[in-house]
Amino acid sequence: MVKAKPDVKTLEVQLQGGQIEEVILQAENKLSLGRKMVQ
């Protein structure tokens, strides 16, 4: 999604007003959890 919409404002609008920082943090947490589950 970020690659498709590199403009932060456009991306936040598409995410229905969500803060992009929160979205990035959630994605990092999911990635971390996924790595722990693989181990």
Q: Is residue 27 part of a domain?
A: yes
Q: Is residue 3 part of a domain?
A: no
Given a cut of 60, is residue 1 above it in pLDDT?
no
- Residue 20: Cβ within 10 Å count: 13
What Cα–Cα distance (Å) separates residue 25 from each residue in 2, 11?
Answer: 14, 15
Domain of residue 31, residue span: 8-38
Q: Is residue 13 part of a domain?
A: yes
Q: Is residue 33 part of a domain?
A: yes
Q: What is the DSSP letter of 5?
A: -
Looking at the structure of the chain, the number of domains it has is 1
Percent of the chain clearing pLDDT 90 (strictly above): 28
For 36, the token pair is: 């722990």
Q: Is residue 1 part of a domain?
A: no
Q: Which long-range contacts (CB under 8 A, 24 or more apart) does 12-20 make?
A: none
What mean pLDDT comes out for the span 25-39? 92
Given a cut of 70, is residue 31 above it in pLDDT?
yes
- CA distance linking residue 20 with residue 2, whole number of Å: 10
